[in-house]
Structures are given as C-alpha cells and as structure tokens.
Amino acid sequence: MRRKIQIKKKKETTLGALAQMIARGFAETATKEDIRGLESRIDGVDNRIDGLDNRVHALEQTVAEVLKLMREDRKERMAEIIDLQVRVAQLEKKIGVR
C-alpha cells in the first residue's frame, strides 16, 4: 500500500501581513513609561528589603546580647550552686551527717 505524500505549498507572506505581524509585536512590547513604572516599583521593593535587612540585623544583635547575658547568668548561678554545695557539705560534716 502506497501512501500519498502531500506537499504543502509555502504560504507567501505579503508585505501587508508582515507589517501586521511587526505591529502586533510592537503592541506587545513594553513602553518606556512601562519600564519607568517597573523601575519605580523595583526601587520601592529594594527600599523595603533594605529596611527588613536592617531590622533583621538589629534583631540578630539583640538576640546575641540576650544569649550572652543568659550565658553569663548561667555561669554565675552555677558558681553559686557549687558554693552552696560546698557549704552544705561542710555543715553536714560538722553536724556529723556525713
């Protein structure tokens, strides 16, 4: 069984059709005003990101300070606990509990 191969003729593009295609392409292209508007919006987003970055940095510093204070306080409390344990041991020894 033989197949018939159909050969399609190439469509010829007229100058008018070509002009319409180009016009549609330009109609979909952003204008300078569109670009300026986008640049303005991007600048606004950049400013917001910078503000958030500054706030995050400040929070990181605050958290670091709080952690430092907590560690120092923990060291002091541990020293107090050890001191109390020594004193209790001495008292127990004096009263003969140990």
- Chunked into runs of 10 residues, the chain (98 residues) has average pLDDT values of 68 82 83 90 96 98 98 96 97 90
Q: Is residue 69 part of a domain?
A: yes
Residue 7 lies in a domain: no
> Is residue 39 a part of any domain in this protein?
yes
In a domain, 13, yes or no: no
Q: How many CB atoms lie within 10 A of CB 2?
A: 4
**Residue whose tokens read 């399609």:** 8
Range of the structural domain that residue 48 is part of = 32-95
Give the torsion through C-alpha atoms of 8, 9, 10, 15, to 10 deg: -140
State how far the Cα of 89 lies from the Cα of 94, in Å rounded to an integer. 9
Domain presence at residue 81: yes
How many structural domains compose the chain?
1
Tell me what pLDDT residue 12 has.
Answer: 74
Q: How far from chain centre, in Å, is Cα 23? A: 41
pLDDT at 39: 94
Structural domain includes residue 12:
no
Q: Note the pTM of the prediction, 2 decimals.
A: 0.53
For residue 67, give both structure tokens: 């952690």
Residue 65 lies in a domain: yes
